[in-house]
């Protein structure tokens, strides 16, 4: 089965559930015999919701991340281990190179005709951290075959990206257990 027409979806906002929503869409698509490709930007390991995907034959995944977090905010380095802080406009060079290779790869995957749905998990966050350019985003969206559904996730979606999308969902944090000191729980938050 192939889509007659694909749309562009954006899941953004400061609330949780962006990746989980995209994974739910992937499972639905696969259950309807669509082929799905997921590239996880800024993630170097599997989370609970993606571990189950290994057993679904028409979902393929790739992780494109480093074993550390990056931040523009030096204060976060005091709160978390493994954080690389950089000056705005000067992200870690090795990370930029890794993501550039991934962008080139994903453009080929989108144009290949093998996949009906392509999910670019955390690519919006990579855009915010200047690992991906808006020019790359435009190219991905404007040059894609019109029967390929593209799903973009991540915080800080810029207006231009929102304007290019057909569907935008903003996850908004209203209340979160972190605010009460409750740590992320395996099986629930990851």
Please tell me the distance from the alpha carbon of residue 104 to that of residue 107, in angstroms, as a whole number. Answer: 5
The domain spans of the chain are: 8-65+93-180
Between the alpha carbon of residue 153 and those of residues 32, 113, 144, the distances in Å are: 22, 22, 17
pTM for the whole structure: 0.91
Q: Which residues pair with 118 in a beta bridge?
A: 37, 150
Supply the pLDDT for residue 77.
Answer: 65
Helix (H) or strand (E) holding 10: strand 8-12
**What pLDDT score does 44 carry?**
76
Q: 96: closest CA among 84, 109, 107?
A: 84
Nearest CA to 168 out of 105, 124, 112 is that of: 124
CATH number of 8-65+93-180: 3.40.50.300
pLDDT at 103 (0 to 100): 98
Q: Which residues does the chain have with pLDDT short of 70? A: 1, 46, 76-77, 80, 88
């Amino acid at each position: 089965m192939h889509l007659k027409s694909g749309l562009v979806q954006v899941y953004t906002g400061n609330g949780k559930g962006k990746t989980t929503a995209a994974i739910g869409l992937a499972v639905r698509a696969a259950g309807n015999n669509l082929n799905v490709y997921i590239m996880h930007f800024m993630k170097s390991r599997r989370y609970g919701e993606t571990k189950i995907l290994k057993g679904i034959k028409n979902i393929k995944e790739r992780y494109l991340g480093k074993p550390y977090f990056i931040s523009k905010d030096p204060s976060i380095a005091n709160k978390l281990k493994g954080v690389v802080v950089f000056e705005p406009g000067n992200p870690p060079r090795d990370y930029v190179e890794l993501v550039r290779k991934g962008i080139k790869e994903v453009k080929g995957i989108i144009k290949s005709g093998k996949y009906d749905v392509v999910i670019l998990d955390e690519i919006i966050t990579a855009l915010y951290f200047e690992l991906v350019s808006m020019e790359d985003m435009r190219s991905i969206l404007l040059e894609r075959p019109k029967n390929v559904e593209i799903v973009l996730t991540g915080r800080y979606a810029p207006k231009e990206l929102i304007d290019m999308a057909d569907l935008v969902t903003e996850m908004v944090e209203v209340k979160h257990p972190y605010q009460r000191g409750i740590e992320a729980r395996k099986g629930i938050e990851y």
